[in-house]
Structure 1
Amino acid sequence: MLSTDTEKVIIVEGKSDKKKIETVINEPIEIICTNGTISISKLDELIDHLFNKEVYILVDADNAGEKLRKQFKREFPEARHLFIDKTYREVATAPEQHIATVLLSADIDVHAEYLF
């Protein structure tokens, strides 16, 4: 799971979130799934792995996502937090065009067909 050597990393909650983002992005970015929660030992492993990388947090707009976001704000204060519109609630169910706009605002390259 933590083997690729890209400069940018997006942290999401679930595999469906990861698949949604993979369809939209147009550059090599590692996407890490927390599966909704993250243990202290996994967090320590991530801290080492993410050293000197651009880290983006993209979690659901719900209570579980906000709890995870707060945890990452404490442990990775330099991470950039990306937000989906609250009307979509989940990254996985947000339209590709919305995800593309959110990612593009963070200077992440996306496939052009999702920008129309």
Structure 2
Amino acid sequence: MIEIEKVIIVEGRSDKQKIEKIINEPVEVICTNGTISDAKLEELIEELYYKDVYILVDADEAGEKLRKQFRREFPEAEHIYIDRTYREVAAAPNWHIAQVLLRANFNVHYDYLLKR
């Protein structure tokens, strides 16, 4: 069994599904369902302590609130941003998500890098 070293935290299930089809390497994608309690966050921090954690949330008020919470409680996490034009990870074009993941040093399926 392979130990997965990279984790991406997203808000919704549709975000998770989009990321999982674009990424071309073993990555755990965790869904917060939009919010996360302090207790759950503390549990998550312990669970992910030795992993490379990335935060990819929507470019809206709820996403920014979640991002601030992670910045405060999990400062080691790296933040990945989508263009504010798209507002939601699930609504952003696949090529855009592939590009932001590639810039964050993830392997992505080449086909998703092409604008269609």
TM-score (norm 1): 0.94
Q: 1:58-100 CA deviation, whole Å, 9 max, x = no partner?
A: 0000000000000000111111100000000000010010000
- Residue 89 of structure 1: aligned partner: 87
Structure 2 unaligned residues grouped into runs of 5+: none
Q: 1:7-26 CA deviation, whole Å, 9 max, x = no partner?
A: 00000000000001011000
Instruction: Return the letter of the residue paired with 2:86.
Output: Y
Q: 1:25-49 CA deviation, whole Å, 9 max, x = no partner?
A: 0001000000010001111110111
- Cα distance between partner residues in 2 of 1:94 and 1:5: 30
Check 1:38–1:90 CA distance in 2 against 1; reply closer, same or farther (3 A cut).
Answer: same
- Cα distance between partner residues in 2 of 1:9 and 1:105: 16
**Large movers: runs of 4+ above 6 Å:** none
Structure 1 unaligned residues grouped into runs of 5+: none
How many residues are matched? 113
TM-score (norm 2): 0.94
